[in-house]
Amino acid sequence: MTNKYYESGFLTHDIRMVTGADVKYDSRGKHITIETRRDALTFLLDFLFTKWGFNYLLLMNCIEEHEGFAIHYILSSRKLSVPIIIKTSIPKETPVFTTVGMIFKSAYQYEERIYNKFSIVFEGNPRTLSYYVKNIFIEESENE
């Protein structure tokens, strides 16, 4: 496949059909934007990693919004020259999210930085344990 538009069209169609996510291709910026629910994120990332070869997490950032937090993932692939931007959101009331470190090892450092700035706990990442788990639960279990 040498035609980038053909590759992107087939990729966006495949993502829509398998995951049901909202997918947009920006031909001017030459990237794909996906907005997904937080409970479908891990499946989507695993699908892109295993089927399409998006095995590079270039950037992961968090933006504080009025009603919650927006987390963005930027992925790239050696197979396709079109980067993917994945957007998901989490509410401020429960700032807990699942780690994606089991798919992308580099996610652990991004999650730790997000935790230090916004106090979002990433379940499965030992570097982002909540205050309660670090200071109260572990001390109680050590004293027993």
* pLDDT tens-place values along the chain, 144 residues long: 445 555 677 888 888 888 888 888 887 768 899 999 988 999 999 999 998 999 999 999 999 998 899 999 999 998 888 899 999 999 988 888 889 999 999 999 999 999 989 988 898 887 777 655 655 555 555 555
What residue ranges in the chain does DSSP mark as E strands? 22-26, 31-35, 56-64, 68-76, 84-91, 96-98, 121-123
Class of domain 4-143: alpha beta
pLDDT of amino acid 43: 92
Q: How far apart (Å, rounded) are the C-alpha atoms in residues 106 and 60?
A: 9
pLDDT of amino acid 1: 42
Contacts of the segment 25-28: beta carbons below 8 A, 24+ positions apart: 25/82
Q: How far apart (Å, rounded) are the C-alpha atoms in residues 129 and 96?
A: 10
Q: Name the nearest CA neighbour of 127 among 100, 104, 108, 143.
A: 108
pLDDT of amino acid 62: 95
pTM score, two decimals?
0.82
Q: What is the residue type of 54?
A: F
Structure-token pair, residue 56: 């590079």
pLDDT of amino acid 142: 56
The CA angle 117-44-24, to the nearest 5 degrees, is 90
What would you measure as the largest C-alpha separation in the chain, in angstroms?
64
